[in-house]
Structure 1
Amino acid sequence: MTDAAERADALLADHGEGRGRLKVFLGAAPGVGKTYAMLQAAQALQRQGMNVRIGVVETHRRAETEALITGLSQQPLRRYDYRGMRLAELDLDGVLANPPQLVLVDELAHTNAPGSRHAKRWQDIEELLAAGIDVYTTVNVQHLESLNDQVRDVTGVQVRETVPDRLLQDAYEIVLIDLPPRELLERLREGKVYVPEQARAAIDAFFSQTNLTALREMAMQTAAARVDSDLARRYRALGEDAPALLGRLLVAVNGDGQAERLVRHASRVAERRHLPWSLVHVETGRVQDETERSRLQAAQQLAERLGGDVVILRAGEVAKTLVSYADEIRASLLLVGRSRPTWARRLLGTGLASQLLQYEAGLEISVLDAREEGCRSVLKAPYYNSQNYWLALGATAGAAILAKAASSLLELPNISLVFLAAVLLVAIHSSRGPAVLCAVLSFLTYNFLFIPPLFSFTIQREQDVLTLMFFLFMATLTGNLASRQRGQLNSLRQAQAETSALLELSRKLTAATDRQAVLKAAAQQLGSTETDVCLMSRDSHDQWQAEAGTAAALSETERAAADWAWKHEQPAGHGTDTLPHGRWWWWPLVAEDGPLALLGIALRNGKPLSAEQRRLFAALGQPLAQALARARLAQDLEAARLHGETEQLRNALLASVSHDLRTPLTAMRGSIDTLATLSDSINAEDRQSLLDTTRLEAERLDRYIQNLLDMTRLGHGGLQLARDWVSPGDIVASALSRLRPVLAALRVETSIPPDMPLLYVHPALIEQALINVLENAARFSPEHGRLHVTVEHHEGEIRLAVSDQGPGIPEAERAKIFDMFYTAARGDRGGQGTGLGLAICQGMVGAHGGRVTVDTGLENRGATLTLHLPLHPQPDANDEG
């Protein structure tokens, strides 16, 4: 490939096949002139002949901004009614129906009105880009997801509307619109950004000199971070590889209050260092409360939005597992949060960072200090389950009663084992907190009831103090170990359940041979008492049809979500940001050349799927999509095979019948020409002979054509069995009557016993099969030879046997005579035939569930061909038809 071609491919790859380009006008704060600059650029492009349209632009009634709208075509906004208000949003479908070259969509971080297709405007922009439309948009730096914590720290305001950083990373161009803070504050005071009342409130709450300076610095840093990305793009445009990226960043999180802050910090570090990154969570089996689980899920979803991967590991030791995984994937940087300070960690140095530093793994380890509010939030929401703590209290009381009853039999040191057993029991059935409480209560009860002086917490003997301390230590240690083992066991059970689900689904899919079997197996495996499953696809009229699972009655919103998921090959529906107001969560099952089916999941309690459930169903969807692709490939291969066989049959038929059809036609034409030319000079006997020859050749031609039609119907599955009750004797009589001219030179004998059962067959087809056998026997029989037709009833079947005195069929060739176009010339008195007669015979009999066999003929000469037809229960004499 030439250098020019490589550069061209690089440019095409950079633009994305059929994908639009995104240009972002970035500012530090509202009022710096982003919309004004965007409209100026649009006006310049329209003067150059580009088709530009305004999708949505917020002028905030600024006269100079509104003046720039003049001359630009505008897409009418779409109206939504919400809580008595009339809201106007971008008409996404209107733009897609008549796409311009460039569309202007202001305020990238805007939240759409309820009822819109997407929850966020940046998702609308992604759909426009996917449709090949270029987009200009604006955004303020405080709306970037990775800077959310930093903006809150600087301004004291938590920004709720955020956009993923990947949008700016994928943007073709970023234009920084800068305005010094003093000038921006002056514009605010003059009412050029907000009305005066709003301006004063904004200055007091957000737009202070300090805040604007910090936001301006963030905007400049964000724009500067694009330099290396632009440099890599230039390398690609030159057909060269950018400098290789080494290593990977891992950020370890759990369910504490700083999880999302860690993810945002990891995203910024990864962007600055140009490292791929992953969020890692180690499941140790520790029981998490609802708050911790929701925080962990939020952090995982945030990582996915910011472009990171999510990895779940299951092990007992967090530090060792993190180091081992980092070494496995060749990570270079590990980011962790500072462990919540406790007296034990201060004394023993058992924080996560301290444990990581004990390993010589060659890793760069960064520790992000925990904020006070994060620590407080953990303390405010401890794991509390009253039943577990009541269990600890009851176990202590029960142990005390049992120990008191056994105190007369056991020595004092052995009584502590009773309390130790109670601690283990609580730890196994609850969590660490109740186990520690049980250990403390057992310690106090043991001292109060059994350590002299009794019924007092005073300890007289020094050895009793040591005994109690050892008891407390052992009780706490064993309680923690038992609680951890129980948690790990639950975690392993969950992992085993997921693995078993994958294996069971794979096993069922492997046994499925076609699409319907695959979908049925998937619906059975994915469905449960808690979830409804629906597998859908498009029919020939582009309408949704349920192929397996629960037949979904789709509302308009759910149908729109299904359409969007199918078209864009991305999840949509309940629990996502795209058309989330329905009941179903849609996951497209995609192959290389497009979607194969649509998987719908709905919880019967109406709640959205959790992040773990979505990941599980997505993982199960991968082998399902592969099985559907395999089934379609098998179907395509079968169609290709049938097409090849059809072509082979067509070619063979043309080659075989070209001579056989010409022979009777030539004879008929000769006879007709003779009659037409010499009709007056030919005597009556010769004229009759010519007419008989013409008739015989016409019948011969008719049989050839009938064989061809029958073979075509058999080969294409078009043979329809119109069954009826018929006597075997009638079939034999009719076949002999039709072949009377052919059999005239032979001695035909029949043996048909009276009271033969009736056959439930297609009479015409069985008659034609018998005619083919008789004609074949006639061709190979000597002149004036015997031909014997026998009908027998034997072991639940009727046998129609035709025996001749021809040369016979060697055993080596008996299996071949039923092949198409196979003929044998020995003893053939009728000349070459098409070789289709016996193949058609076998096909017709086989369609009735019968078979054809070959044996020796009359007097150990010739051949016997027998049609075996199954018997059906005979009809009642009173039945009609």
Structure 2
Amino acid sequence: MTIFLAFLLGLSIGLGFVLWQRSRLQRGFRQLNRELSAAEDRASPSASAAQLALTVTQQQRVQHDLQQQRDGYRAVLENAPIGFLRVDDENRLVWCNAQARSLLEIEPSEEADSIRLLLEIVRSYELDQLVEHTRNAQQPCQQDWVFYPVSPDPTKISQQMGYPMRGHGFPLPNHQVGVFLESREEAETLKQQRDRWASDVAHELKTPLTSIRLVAETLEYRVEPGLRGWIQRLVNETTRLSTLVQDLLELSHLERSLPQVLSCETLNLPDLIQAAWISLEPLSQKKQLQLDYQGSDHLPVQVDQHRIYRVLINLLDNSIKHSPPWGVVQVKLWSETTNDANPHNADKASCTCADEEWVTLQVIDAGPGFPESDLPFVFERFYKTDPSRAQISDAGIACVVKPDHEEDADQSTGDGQRRSSTGLGLAIVQQIVEAHRGNVNACNYAETGGACLTIHLPRHCTPDA
């Protein structure tokens, strides 16, 4: 019993000592915690100030870098060889570079004034329209127009000349719009010089070629029979050159007169297609070709009948020429309504947002089609895809070679016209279609592998001035 009591006494003393040590440690921890908290409170303002100062320094450095980048970009734009201007969400001119001031004839005092409407500073409704279309479409837009500067002196209005200009608009944040401007005066001048040169050469060649042809035709039956083949070849080549000259003259006339001389009238386009095919029947029957027309029998359009008939003749003739015997030439026609002034024109996106009716015409053959690398060039002058027509002689000079099995390229179409392989047919097509505010493009048709020429025309004739 005595041993048990002694054990309990020792255990109580040990537990008491442990509890005392624990209480002592807790008091020490609490004291240390109070001291650390006080030290942290005393150090907090200085640490926050240091951190804030560091943040401000970094922010200033970032702002300085952004300012340098902005000044660099602005210096580039200011000295750029093309014009640039920025318009805010209310069509007010915010800033423009030196080239834009020169192109639009903006006085430095006008730009230095408070922000004003673009139309007040530059009296160009086409430029204002481009800005509005770009903002509404929220995509890059392009527009060509002739800019006529407005002089403050009324006595000089008649002396001011307009010059062609092209604008590229692109959307900016906060409904602002940026516009790049370039003068097309030099390009138009070079184009006019080229056309004038081609027209002058064609005029000079027309008379001697006619004389050579008359002489050759006169000699054809006055020489020995063995030499008549050479005379016939001379007549054929002279006819080919005469056709080339005639096409050059016609293309030059179209470029000078269209679209101002378009004589639009309402007609049924399917009937015109049938008339064009009938006029080419002498050619199609030689190959036993059939016309597969897919579309409505009644689709009235307002077009220049003579010009569109020439377009159909050139397209159908091209398909007949490259179609294999006993083949089919497909013609598809349909109409559509769109809210884009020219939805199929990728080169000149005017982004007009008014509903308009369009017709689409496709002429498809089953021939070899266009080489993929040549598709961007098929509407250029003198373009030909047939490699057998342009071979290099031993002297290194490109010459026309006609295989023995090839038929004459200049054949009658049955209505007095001549079938031409001058490489100008599609260029004439493009010129006429664009005068009607339409466009034409070429591709290879997946089902037949042949060429597919697609024309888009507005149903109502409102040609560009």
TM-score (norm 2): 0.45
Higher relative contact order (CA 8 A, sep 6+): 2
Structure with bigger gyration radius = 1
Query: Taking structure 1 as the reference length, what is the TM-score of the superposition?
Result: 0.26
